[in-house]
Amino acid sequence: MTTAVEINEEASEWRTAQRQFDTAAEIIGLEPELREILREVQREFTCHFPVEMDDGRIEVFTGYRVQHNINRGPAKGGIRYHPDVSLDEVKALAMWMTWKCAVVNIPFGGAKGGVIVDPHRLSVRELERMTRRFASEISILIGPDRDIPAPDLNTDAQVMAWIMDTLSMHAGYSVTASVTGKPIEVGGSLGRVDATGRGVTICALAALEHLGITPHSARVAVQGFGNVGSVSARLLEEAGCTIVAVSDEYSGLLNPLGLPVRRLIEHRRRTGRLEGFEGADAIPSEGPLTADCDVLVPAAIGNQITSRNAGRIRARLIVEGANGPTTPEADHILEKNGVFLVPDILANAGGVTVSYFEWVQDLQAFFWSEHEVNQKLQAIMQRAFREILAVAGERRLPMRMAAYGQAVQRVASATRDRGLYP
Ligand code: NAD
């Protein structure tokens, strides 16, 4: 029987990140000194900052910015607003960003940030004041050459615009390359909003081809219907797949004959939820995880596929849109059951790849067409998928460990080349 302590342990994303790294380090035979350096974060920053609420009260919020490693380039990583944000979670996410940038071979290190807050309870003005205060706090760390934030859970282009504007007020001129995922009018890139879901779709289609399943015969379940989940569902439907189950944090929907994704997106835009959509059965938020389907896309939050439900997963293919949705315990069960899994550090790297394009375009003040962005994204994602699949085949490894091995190898080489490790 699993004890409460074991379940809590399994739920620690930092522990998951370190265990995944340890396994990869073992597989590639990484020297002990480099293991010590890379299994910790380089910098962690905590701040507590006051924000004036609309009723005149002052509330103090806690935020974090963590840089795991900057040997391959400036630090890069999203900022999330969520009541469950913790330093450990942000550390794990920063480490995953390092590996993600290395898997797709873009010149960034890994970072992440977050504020402990439920943004749905703030007014727009409160959200803006909180964002600007947090941006001021982390301004000592971030900037185009040092650390470049992006959107993540509950943050969007508007939040990025406020952060960029706050940094620009400090600098006295527009520092557009300091943040990615911005609105187009202030230096954003075409294609950025869809980029993560597009990358998930490119990986899913490549994996389906590898498994000999045609998109037209593939039934897909998606957990989470925000940026990543809804775009993945829409693009997979456009590619011929049938979307049979979706969910958000409140509830889920199931229809084995297929859900009309564009109408669902419109319904969610109008009502803020999936609930109440006609023509589908109601299921719980975690329903898509164990739904009868061929492809599962977890695209919500971390720690959703655990030892408690992994054995009940019916999909043959999992493409991780979310960061850290699967625990190492669940990984073992899925592997034993022959589930093919495209890991987060590969599957959801489309977002940071187009963020990289946005940063390049801002630095050059020369902007690309959406077609150009999508083509370049497809080339990078398909190359990375092929490389990882080849490593997995050659070394008889699951895709997660193949991706980790490749990424850790690249970061370790950069560290050795720079002589940071005597
Ligand atoms: P988002 O805020 O736009 O959407 C999150 C969605 O998940 C919402 O629909 C929310 O209702 C749902 N959700 C939350 N808790 C849930 C639960 N317990 N069960 C079911 N649904 C739940 O966020 P996003 O940007 O789409 O990010 C989703 C995931 O993808 C996160 O793990 C994030 O770190 C990861 N990710 C995002 C990007 C990006 O570019 N946005 C890039 C890489 C990875």
Tokens standing for 232? 């993945």
- In total, the chain counts a number of residues equal to 422
Tell which one of 120, 196, 353 to mutate to probe ligand 1, the residue whose CB is within 8 A of the most ligand atoms: 196
Tokens standing for 244? 């049979």
User: Cα–Cα distance between 236 and 243 in angstroms, integer?
Assistant: 8
Which residue, judged by its Cα, is nearest atom 14 of ligand 1?
A: 249
374: amino acid identity, one letter: N
Q: Is the shortest distance between the CB of 358 and ligand 1 below 6 Å?
A: no
User: How many angstroms separate the alpha carbon of residue 71 from the centre of ligand 1?
Assistant: 28
* β-bridge pairing 242-247 and 219-223: parallel
| Ligand 1 atom index nearest CA of 154 | 2
State the number of CA atoms in the 13 A half-sphere of 60 facing the CB: 4
3-class DSSP string for the chain: CCCHHHHHHHCCHHHHHHHHHHHHHHHHCCCHHHHHHHCCCCEEEEEEEEEECCCCCEEEEEEEEEEEECCCCCEEEEEEEECCCCHHHHHHHHHHHHHHHHHCCCCCEEEEEEEECCHHHCCHHHHHHHHHHHHHHHCCCCECCCEEEEECCCCCHHHHHHHHHHHHHHHCCCCHHHCCCCCHHHCCCCCHHHHHHHHHHHHHHHHHHHHCCCHHHCEEEEECCCHHHHHHHHHHHHCCCEEEEEECCCCEEECCCCCCHHHHHHHHHHHCCCCCCCCCEEECCCHHHHCCCCEEEECCCCCCECCCCHHHCCCCEEECCCCCCECHHHHHHHHHCCCEEECHHHHCCHHHHHHHHHHHHHHHCCCCCHHHHHHHHHHHHHHHHHHHHHHHHHHCCCHHHHHHHHHHHHHHHHHHHHCCCC
User: Cα–Cα distance between 82 and 86 in angstroms, integer?
Assistant: 9
Other beta carbons less than 10 A from residue 395's beta carbon: 12
Q: Is the shortest distance between the CB of 77 and ligand 1 below 6 Å?
A: no
User: Cα–Cα distance between 189 and 366 in angstroms, integer?
Assistant: 10
Residue with tokens 């797949």, as numbered in its chain:
241
User: How many angstroms separate the alpha carbon of residue 173 from the centre of ligand 1?
Assistant: 33
Nearest Cα neighbor of 200 from 331, 57, 344 is 344
Q: Is the pTM of this model over 0.85?
A: yes
* Residues 251-264 as b or e (16 or more Cβ within 10 Å = b): bbbbbeeebebeeb
The pLDDT value recorded for residue 2 is 47
* β-bridge pairing 75-82 and 147-151: parallel
What CA–CA distances, in Å, run from 177 to 68, 147, 168, 181, 356?
A: 21, 10, 10, 10, 10
The pLDDT value recorded for residue 9 is 62
135-149 pLDDT, tens per residue? 999 999 999 999 999
Evaluated on CA atoms 202, 322, 352, 187, the torsion sign reads: positive
Which residues of the chain have a pLDDT value below 50?
A: 1-5, 7
User: How many angstroms separate the alpha carbon of residue 417 from the centre of ligand 1?
Assistant: 36
Nearest Cα neighbor of 322 from 254, 420, 248 is 248
Write out the catalytic residue numbers: 112
User: How many angstroms separate the alpha carbon of residue 153 from the centre of ligand 1?
Assistant: 5
Tokens standing for 250? 């409140």
Question: Cα(first)–Cα(last) distance of the chain, in Å?
Answer: 47
Provide the β-strand partners of residue 19.
none
User: Cα–Cα distance between 129 and 330 in angstroms, integer?
Assistant: 40
* β-bridge pairing 109-116 and 219-223: unpaired
Q: Is the shortest distance between the CB of 221 and ligand 1 below 6 Å?
A: no
162-218 pLDDT, tens per residue? 999 999 999 999 999 999 999 999 999 999 999 999 999 999 999 999 999 999 999
